[in-house]
Chain A
């Protein structure tokens, strides 16, 4: 799977939008972009995934650039409970492939 690059950490004010960037410049045509987060001492939580179109669900929005070399996860109104490590993962098409985790971004939401 292609590797991803994310900032190590970010801060965000409570109530503001949190925009988490991810670079995946070597992504190939059949690879999806997945986002997970991990709150301390819990298993990872699925957030959203996409191939090339922007996606939105009840948790977040995923914006993928036209060349698919980068993406941004947007939490529209961050709360203190959104403090977590956020992982951007590129995964080959098909549910059979495992996820390879990088270092992720530690998001700290501050009051």
Chain B
């Protein structure tokens, strides 16, 4: 199956700082990337859908100015959490669009 990587796998930051999460599809060209987040003991929730070369679309309740998504190439999409706060602490997972829909390993963000 498709190989998807995320970097970093975990990050701890202070409140107010920005954190960038990279998602790479290593053997697959992804026109579209789905970004999910998962709070403890909850299921995955779709945050946004990014399309290569165009603006991302965000789900209701997700602030587009806080969660900046860039999809500059078919193999790289980035999610930047700006001015992170403790309530942004979560597990962030990317998934390139595809028939079988593979997922990245996730990035654990902890905001102190």
Contacts and interface: CB of A to CB of B under 8 A. Distances in A.
A43 to B, nearest CB: 4
B19 to A, nearest CB: 18
Contacts, number: 51
A87 B36 CA distance: 15
B53 interface: no
Nearest to A47: B100
Interface in A21-53: 34, 36, 38, 41-46, 49
B97 interface: yes
Nearest to B34: A98
A43 B97 contact: no
A44 B93 contact: yes
Contacts of B45: 101
A43 B43 contact: no
Nearest to A102: B43
Contacts of B105: 42-43
A46 B106 contact: no
A101 B39 CA distance: 13
Contact of B106 (A43, A91, A99): A43
A49 B100 contact: yes
Contact of A98 (B49, B91, B106): B49
Contacts of A103: 43
B67 interface: no
Interface of A: 34, 36, 38, 41-46, 49, 87, 91, 95-96, 98-104
Interface of B: 1, 4, 6, 32, 34, 36, 43-46, 49, 91, 93, 95, 97-106, 108
6 contacts: A43-B104, A45-B103, A46-B100, A96-B97, A100-B46, A102-B43
